[in-house]
């Protein structure tokens, strides 16, 4: 029963990374909702956010100033990605978009490798130390990461449900053609979704790098885990994705603690297959939305 005592600590180990998976997953949801595209380059925003912050801090910029600059850099990448995808022929199929975004993801990953090398990087952002919560020591970094993620949820909710632009985006997600008839430009909404997704990814990267380090090689892997988070949460629901991400992080922490850390990166894959097999509509949706079969 000794291992039982360690469970809270294993769970605590997965909290911060889970929040990061959630933020990546929410990015998948936002883009999927407005354009029915799965952006395979989503994980790259995290890498570029985290590593830009590393470079900025290394050049003497205060971490708190580096954060918005790094997020801004990701927003530029997001805009560029959308501009490239917008050149696709009308009526291009799902396969085209998958292949274009995966091509860009690999190119970006290679580019990050050129810029930052293959090593691990970090910078310090959080105060040292930890607090004891329910029998587990939770670092301040984890607390800040969770706190910011909750704040992001709140801002995202206010944006989607309380602002005109957010409502337009939801209308567009529901039916782009009907949205067009009431004066909403789906193209603009899609661009907005890419910018928002990129900023969520960039923010996740800046948040996670100080506690768990970042490497140019992480992008594809983080993308898969973020996608898993989104699938757990129901793909179309950004808030479900954040909850899904935290659940995935806890699951990973538990598996690493109880089974083995050798397979750390494989647990998410197993979780993905299990969810697709048992509950492809996600944990929270009652039924598959139309078109998602």
Q: Which residues bind another protein (CB under 8 A)?
A: 38, 40, 84, 87-89, 92-96, 98-100, 102-111, 113-114, 220-221, 223-224, 227, 231, 260, 262-266, 268-270, 272-274, 276-277, 280, 292-293
The residue written with tokens 């337009």 in the block is 168
Instruction: Tell me whether residue 103 or residue 127 sits nearer to another protein (CB atom).
Output: 103
Instruction: Tell me whether residue 48 or residue 123 sits nearer to another protein (CB atom).
Output: 48
Instruction: Tell me whether residue 2 or residue 93 sits nearer to another protein (CB atom).
Output: 93
CB of 14 to another protein, least distance (A): 17
Closest of 201, 243, 206 to residue 222, by C-alpha: 201
Q: CA-CA distance, 148 to 204, in Å (whole number)?
A: 9
CB 249 within 8 A of CB 205: no
CB of 183 to another protein, least distance (A): 25
Q: CA-CA distance, 194 to 83, in Å (whole number)?
A: 10
In angstroms, how far is CA 196 from the centroid of its own chain?
A: 11
CB of 144 to another protein, least distance (A): 29
CB of 109 to another protein, least distance (A): 6
CA dihedral 201, 214, 66, 27 (to 10 degrees): 0
Instruction: Tell me whether residue 158 or residue 276 sits nearer to another protein (CB atom).
Output: 276
Distances (CA, A) of 93 to 10, 19, 90, 247: 43, 32, 9, 32
* CA 201-109-213 angle, 5° bins: 60
CB of 226 to another protein, least distance (A): 10
Instruction: Tell me whether residue 36 or residue 167 sits nearer to another protein (CB atom).
Output: 36
- Compute the radius of gyration of the chain from its Cα atoms: 19
Instruction: Tell me whether residue 96 or residue 188 sits nearer to another protein (CB atom).
Output: 96
CB 242 within 8 A of CB 26: yes
Instruction: Tell me whether residue 175 or residue 265 sits nearer to another protein (CB atom).
Output: 265
CB of 139 to another protein, least distance (A): 26
CB of 112 to another protein, least distance (A): 10
CB 223 within 8 A of CB 42: yes
Start-to-end CA span in the chain (Å): 43
Q: Which 8-state DSSP code applies to residue 135? A: T
């Amino acid at each position: 029963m000794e291992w039982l005592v360690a469970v809270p600590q294993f769970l605590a180990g997965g909290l911060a990374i889970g929040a990061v998976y959630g933020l990546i997953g929410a990015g998948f949801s936002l883009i999927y909702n407005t354009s029915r595209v799965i952006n395979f380059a989503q994980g790259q925003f995290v890498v570029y956010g985290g590593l830009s912050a590393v470079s900025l801090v290394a050049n003497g910029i205060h971490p708190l100033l580096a954060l918005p600059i790094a997020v801004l850099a990701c927003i530029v990448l997001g805009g560029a990605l959308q501009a490239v995808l917008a050149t696709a022929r009308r009526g291009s199929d799902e396969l085209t978009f998958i292949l274009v975004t995966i091509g860009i993801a690999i190119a970006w990953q290679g580019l990050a490798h050129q810029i930052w090398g293959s090593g691990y990087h970090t910078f310090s952002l959080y105060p040292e130390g930890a607090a004891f919560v329910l029998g587990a020591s939770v670092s301040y970094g984890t607390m800040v990461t969770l706190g910011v993620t909750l704040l992001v949820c709140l801002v995202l909710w206010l944006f989607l449900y309380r602002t005109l632009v957010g409502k337009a985006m939801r209308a567009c997600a529901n039916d782009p053609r009907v949205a067009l008839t009431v004066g909403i430009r789906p193209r603009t909404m899609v661009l907005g979704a890419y910018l928002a997704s990129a900023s969520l990814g960039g923010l996740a990267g800046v948040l996670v790098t100080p506690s768990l380090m970042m490497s140019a090689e992480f992008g594809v892997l983080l993308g898969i885990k973020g996608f898993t988070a989104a699938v757990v949460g129901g793909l179309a629901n950004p808030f479900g994705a954040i909850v899904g991400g935290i659940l995935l992080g806890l699951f990973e922490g538990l598996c690493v603690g109880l089974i083995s850390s050798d397979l750390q990166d494989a647990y998410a894959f197993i979780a993905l297959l299990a969810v697709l097999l048992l509950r492809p509509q996600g944990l929270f949706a009652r039924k598959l939305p139309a078109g998602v079969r």
